[in-house]
Amino acid sequence: MKKGDHLFLVDGSAYIFRAYHALPPLTRKSDGLPVGAVSGFCNMLWKLVEESRDTSVGVVPTHFAVIFDYSSTTFRNTLYSEYKANREAPPEDLKPQFGLIREAVRAFDLPCIEKEGFEADDLIATYTRLAVEAGGDVTIVSSDKDLMQLVGPNVILYDQMKDKRLGAQEVKEKFGVYPEKMIDLQALCGDTSDNVPGVPGIGPKTAAQLLEEYGTLEELLERAPEIKQTKRRENLIAFADQARLSKRLVTLDADTPLGDGEQLDDLFIHEPDGEKLVAYLKAMEFTTLTRRVAAALDTDASDVESADLKIEGVPRGPDLDPFEVPDAPGDTVFTATPARLAARLKDGATGQAIDRSRYVTIRDAQTLRSWMDRARDKGSMAFDTETSQLSAMNGDLVGVSFAISPGEAAYVPIAHVAADADLLSGPKDATSLGGQIPLGEALDILKPVLEDASVLKIGQNIKYDLLVMLQHGIAMTPIDDTMLISYALDASSGLEGHGMDELSERWLGHKPISYKELCGSGRTARPIAAVEIDKVTEYAAEDADVTLRLWQVLKPRLAAERLAHVYERLERPLAPVLARMEQRGIMVDRQILSRLSGRFSQKQAGIEADIAQMAGEEFNPGSPKQLGEILFGKLGLPGGKKTKSGQWSTDARVLEDLAAEGHDLPRRIVDWRQLTKLKGTYTDALPSHMDENGRIHTSFSMASTTTGRLSSSEPNLQNIPVRTEEGRAIRTAFVAPKGKKLVSADYSQIELRILAHIADIPQLKDAFRNGIDIHAMTASEMFGVPVEGMDPMVRRRAKAINFGIIYGISAFGLANQLSIPREEAGLYIKRYFERFPGIRDYMDQTKAYAKKHGYVETLFGRRAHYPDITSKNPQVRAFNERAAINAPIQGTAADVIRRAMVRMESALETAGLSAQMLLQVHDELIFEVDDSEIDETIAVVRRVMEAAPGPSVSLSVPLEVDAKAATNWDEAH
Partner DNA sequence: CGCTCCTAACC
Partner DNA sequence: AGGTTAGGAGCGA
Residues between 636 and 665 with contacts to DNA, criterion CB under 7 A: 643-647, 649-653, 655
Q: Which of 432, 713, 870, 906 binds DNA (CB under 7 A)?
A: 713
Q: Does 809 bind DNA (CB under 7 A)?
A: yes
Pick out residues in 507-566 that bind DNA (CB under 7 A): 521-523
Contact region for DNA (CB under 7 A) — 313-321, 381-389, 886-894, 925-933? Answer: 886-894
Assess contact for 418 and 530: CB atoms under 8 A: yes
Shortest Cβ 460–DNA spacing (Å): 17
Whose Cβ is closer to DNA: residue 763's or residue 816's? 816
Q: Which of 562, 709, 740, 862 binds DNA (CB under 7 A)?
A: 709
What single letter denotes the amino acid at residue 176?
G
User: Which secondary structure element, helix H or strand E, spans residue 850, and what is its range?
Assistant: helix 837-853
Whose Cβ is closer to DNA: residue 256's or residue 706's? 706
Strand-pairing partners, residue 543, are none
Q: Does 712 bind DNA (CB under 7 A)?
A: yes
Whose Cβ is closer to DNA: residue 185's or residue 764's? 764
Among residues 276, 274, 343, 316, the alpha carbon closest in space to that of 29 is found at: 316
Q: Does 882 bind DNA (CB under 7 A)?
A: yes
Q: Which of 387, 460, 810, 937 binds DNA (CB under 7 A)?
A: 810
What mask, x for binding DNA by CB under 7 A, covers residues 911 to 950?
A: ----------xxxx--------------------------
Tell me how far apart the alpha carbons of residues 940 and 936 are, in angstroms, rounded to a whole number.
6
User: Which secondary structure element, helix H or strand E, spans residue 374, and what is its range?
Assistant: helix 365-378
Q: Does 817 bind DNA (CB under 7 A)?
A: yes
Nearest-10 crossing angle of helices 874-910, 750-758: 110
Q: Does 701 bind DNA (CB under 7 A)?
A: yes
Assess contact for 944 and 900: CB atoms under 8 A: yes
Whose Cβ is closer to DNA: residue 2's or residue 644's? 644
Assess contact for 254 and 283: CB atoms under 8 A: no
Q: Does 887 bind DNA (CB under 7 A)?
A: yes
Interior angle at CA 294, CA 293 and CA 299, nearest 5? 140
Among residues 272, 129, 651, 699, the alpha carbon closest in space to that of 463 is found at: 699
> How many other CB atoms are there within 10 angstroms of residue 425's CB atom?
10
Shortest Cβ 623–DNA spacing (Å): 3
Q: What is the DSSP letter of 746?
A: E
Whose Cβ is closer to DNA: residue 242's or residue 493's? 493
Whose Cβ is closer to DNA: residue 434's or residue 598's? 598
Tell me how far apart the alpha carbons of residues 889 and 524 are, in angstroms, rounded to a whole number.
46
Q: Does 323 bind DNA (CB under 7 A)?
A: no
Whose Cβ is closer to DNA: residue 159's or residue 714's? 714
Whose Cβ is closer to DNA: residue 179's or residue 666's? 666
Contact region for DNA (CB under 7 A) — 300-308, 554-562, 595-603, 808-816? Answer: 808-816
> How many other CB atoms are there within 10 angstroms of residue 351's CB atom?
10
Whose Cβ is closer to DNA: residue 810's or residue 892's? 810
Tell me how far apart the alpha carbons of residues 455 and 377 are, in angstroms, rounded to a whole number.
9
> How many other CB atoms are there within 10 angstroms of residue 871's CB atom?
14
Pick out residues in 11-50 that bind DNA (CB under 7 A): none
Tell me how far apart the alpha carbons of residues 946 and 747 are, in angstroms, rounded to a whole number.
8
What mask, x for binding DNA by CB under 7 A, covers residues 493 to 512?
A: x-------------------
Among residues 401, 539, 534, 397, the alpha carbon closest in space to that of 459 is found at: 401
Q: Which of 620, 819, 873, 914 binds DNA (CB under 7 A)?
A: 620
Q: Which of 128, 302, 436, 705 binds DNA (CB under 7 A)?
A: 705
Sheet holding 586-588, edge to edge: 695-696, 586-588, 734-735
User: Which secondary structure element, helix H or strand E, spans residue 792, and what is its range?
Assistant: helix 792-806
Whose Cβ is closer to DNA: residue 237's or residue 685's? 685
What single letter denotes the amino acid at residue 512?
P
Pick out residues in 723-742 that bind DNA (CB under 7 A): 723-724, 727
Whose Cβ is closer to DNA: residue 567's or residue 879's? 879
Q: Does 256 bind DNA (CB under 7 A)?
A: no
> How many other CB atoms are there within 10 angstroms of residue 15's CB atom?
25
Contact region for DNA (CB under 7 A) — 102-110, 306-314, 697-705, 956-964? Answer: 697-705
Q: Does 389 bind DNA (CB under 7 A)?
A: no
3-state secondary structure of 250: helix
Q: Does 886 bind DNA (CB under 7 A)?
A: yes
Whose Cβ is closer to DNA: residue 93's or residue 571's? 571
Tell me how far apart the alpha carbons of residues 849 and 134 are, in angstroms, rounded to a whole number.
64
Assess contact for 887 and 705: CB atoms under 8 A: no
Assess contact for 596 and 730: CB atoms under 8 A: yes
Q: What is the DSSP letter of 681?
A: I
Whose Cβ is closer to DNA: residue 391's or residue 967's? 391
3-state secondary structure of 111: coil
What is each CA distance from 426 to 423, 441, 520, in whole angstroms?
Answer: 5, 22, 20
What is each CA distance from 473 to 330, 467, 468, in whole angstroms?
Answer: 53, 10, 9
Q: Does 862 bind DNA (CB under 7 A)?
A: no
Shortest Cβ 675–DNA spacing (Å): 8
Shortest Cβ 489–DNA spacing (Å): 16
Whose Cβ is closer to DNA: residue 52's or residue 810's? 810
Whose Cβ is closer to DNA: residue 780's or residue 810's? 810
Tell me how far apart the alpha carbons of residues 655 and 127 are, in angstroms, rounded to a whole number.
84
Q: Which of 80, 515, 803, 833 binds DNA (CB under 7 A)?
A: 803
Q: Does 459 bind DNA (CB under 7 A)?
A: no
Q: Which of 547, 674, 683, 749 binds DNA (CB under 7 A)?
A: 674
What mask, x for binding DNA by CB under 7 A, covers residues 175 to 214?
A: ----------------------------------------
Contact region for DNA (CB under 7 A) — 31-39, 282-290, 592-600, 812-820? Answer: 812-820
Pick out residues in 98-157 that bind DNA (CB under 7 A): none
Shortest Cβ 649–DNA spacing (Å): 4
DSSP assignment of 445-491 equals HHHHHHT-TTSEEEESSHHHHHHHHHTTT----SEEEHHHHHHHHH-
Assess contact for 265 and 290: CB atoms under 8 A: no
Which residues contact residue 329 at a Cβ distance below 8 angstroms, ignoring those fewer than 6 apart? none
Q: Does 160 bind DNA (CB under 7 A)?
A: no
Assess contact for 632 and 648: CB atoms under 8 A: yes
By rule CB under 7 A, what count of residues binds DNA?
Answer: 74
Whose Cβ is closer to DNA: residue 28's or residue 797's? 797
Q: Does 797 bind DNA (CB under 7 A)?
A: no
Whose Cβ is closer to DNA: residue 564's or residue 829's? 829
Assess contact for 275 and 106: CB atoms under 8 A: no
Q: Does 819 bind DNA (CB under 7 A)?
A: no
